[in-house]
Amino acid sequence: MNKGLISNNIRKLRFHHDEMTQKQLAEKVGVTRQTIVAIEKGKYSPSLELAFRIALVFNTPLEEVFSFSLEDKS
C-alpha cells in the first residue's frame, strides 16, 4: 500500500490572519506550540478533531487547510 502524504497551508493561513503566531493558534485549538510547529513541518499528522479545530479557527474548509495524496511507489 502506498504511503499517504498530508500537507498543509497553516503557515500561510496564519500570515493572512493578522500574522497569528504559532503560540496563538496553539492556544485557540488547545495544543502546545511545538505541536503546531510539527504539523506545519509535516512531521506530525493531527487527529481529525484537531484538524477541524484548526480549520474552524481560520473559518476555512478543511480541504483548504490540509491536503492528502498518495506517494507513488512505482
For residue 25, pLDDT over 90 is answered with: yes
For residue 72, pLDDT over 90 is answered with: no
Residue-level pLDDT at 74: 56
Domain locations in the chain?
9-61
36-46 confidence digits (pLDDT tens): 999 999 999 99
Of the options 1.10.10.10, 3.30.70.600, 1.10.260.40, 3.30.450.20, the CATH number for the domain spanning 9-61: 1.10.260.40
Q: In the predicted model, what is the mean pLDDT of residues 41-63?
A: 97
The sign of the CA dihedral 43, 46, 52, 57 is negative
